[in-house]
Amino acid sequence: MPRTPSAPDNHGKPATPIDAALLEEWALSYLERYASTAENLRQVLRRRVRRRLMAEGSRDRESAASAGPLIDALVARYRETGLVNDAAYAAGRARSGLARGRSLRRIAAGLAAKGVGAADAAAAIAGLRDETTDPELAAACAFARRRRLGPYRTAPRPREHSRDIHTAELATFARAGFTRRTAEAILACPDEAAVQALLAGDDADSDDSGRMG
């Protein structure tokens, strides 16, 4: 089994070599706690190797580089066996993002940051339509509920500050990645029942309620 030698530890004893067995131990420990994509797991293991070498007082680039093929082989094997599955990971993250009120734009960015390929990310976002007819609207409603915006606002809106509050809430939606049209549609709802009707498509005029004047 190939081994990447490690420098002696602080007590002068040789440290456990960074070999395939140690990398697998690290990988399984990580996967026991977190779901992961193949690329994310690869980066996690690379960081572990770098931290290990630095902790041992070694900046040996050759040692770090020699661990690369071992990491690649391990990740490839995990993909083949299904231990890491980018498509399943993307689908799960997309659903949880929707439930937490993340815009589709934010969900896509989060998947890309975790190393999900464009095809898997697109399929995951398209799959959200199996959960709801309009995923973006559903996410925006969840966002409004979590942030207590519009119909979910707990404090009454003073008439004299109505326009300022409306503008501020539009900006909050925009910063979260939602379009003005989607934000306006939700803010136009007088109460939570109206939001549910909007989600169910019961309001025939909902498509026009968020148009900019």
Model confidence over 165-205: pLDDT tens digits? 999 999 999 999 999 999 999 999 999 999 999 998 854 44
Q: Which residues of 99-127 are buried (b: 16+ CB within 10 A; e: fewer)?
A: eebbbbebbbebbeebbbbeebbeebbee
Q: Read off the tokens for 179.
A: 């379009």
Instruction: Write the pLDDT tens digit of every residue in 32-58.
Output: 999 999 999 999 999 999 898 888 776
Read off φ and ψ for residue 19, nearest 5 degrees.
-120, -175
For residues 213 and 89, the model is more confident at 89
Helix (H) or strand (E) holding 42: helix 38-55
- Between CA 35 and CA 23 the distance in angstroms is 17
Band of residue 65 on the pLDDT scale cut at 50, 70, 90: confident
Average pLDDT over residues 148-166: 80
On the 0-12 / 13-18 / 19+ scale of CB atoms within 10 A, 204 is exposed
- Between CA 178 and CA 191 the distance in angstroms is 20
Using alpha carbons, list the distances in angstroms from residue 66 to 55, 70, 80, 163: 18, 8, 23, 62
Portion of the chain with pLDDT greater than 90, in percent: 68
Whether pLDDT at 14 is above 80: no
Instruction: Write the pLDDT tens digit of every residue in 71-105.
Output: 999 999 999 999 999 999 999 999 999 999 999 99
How far is C-alpha 42 from the chain's CA centre? 17
Q: Which long-range contacts (CB under 8 A, 24 or more apart) does 166-174 make?
A: 172/147, 173/140, 173/143, 173/144, 173/149
Average pLDDT over residues 143-152: 94
The pLDDT of residue 205: 45
Q: Read off the tokens for 208.
A: 């026009």
Helix (H) or strand (E) holding 18: strand 18-19
Band of residue 160 on the pLDDT scale cut at 50, 70, 90: low
